Amino acid sequence: KTGVGTLVAEGKEVKSFRGEDFILEEGIFADLALVKAWKADETGNVIFRKTARNFNVPAATCGKVCVVEVEEIVPVGSLDPDAIHLPGVYVQRLVVGAPYDKKIEFRTVRERETV
């Protein structure tokens, strides 16, 4: 719906669904997709962690070639099939990016003064 009736819509196809107009756009298609993941098996089935699950899956599927950097590659059959976020059919290359410097914030407080 965004952009209907504005300069953005000029020259683009507009379709109506349930009485509302929408601008149709082609999806993004890249030559190379680079994503970072937590774990993968040897066939390229990938598991993402935390916020990496938000956009890494669609980003990985929009490229002709998908390269995934992982923290760990495990043997085939080690991953729970229900936990796989990106099937290996989308992955052309796996790269182990270890060792990782995992920077973690530490809470520091000053000691209470005794009066």
- Are 43 and 49 in contact by the 8 Å Cβ rule? The answer is no
- What are the distances in angstroms from CA 73 to CA 32, 54, 102? 21, 21, 18
The reported pLDDT for the residue numbered 99 is 76
Domain of residue 71: give its range.
Answer: 30-96
Q: Does 82 map to a domain?
A: yes
Q: Does 17 map to a domain?
A: no
Report the distance separating Cα 59 and Cα 38, nearest Å. 16
Q: 8: helix, coil or strand?
A: helix
The reported pLDDT for the residue numbered 66 is 97
The reported pLDDT for the residue numbered 90 is 96
- Are 96 and 73 in contact by the 8 Å Cβ rule? The answer is yes
> Measuring CA to CA, which residue among 28, 37, 29 is closest to residue 91?
37
Q: Does 34 map to a domain?
A: yes
Q: Does 35 map to a domain?
A: yes
Q: Does 24 map to a domain?
A: no
Q: Distance between terminal CA atoms of the chain?
A: 64
Q: Does 9 map to a domain?
A: no
- DSSP 8-state symbol, 28: P
Report the distance separating Cα 15 and Cα 1, nearest Å. 10
Q: Total domain count for the chain?
A: 1
Mean pLDDT in order along the chain per 10 residues (115 residues)? 88 92 89 96 96 94 95 95 96 89 73 81
Q: Does 59 map to a domain?
A: yes
Q: Does 73 map to a domain?
A: yes
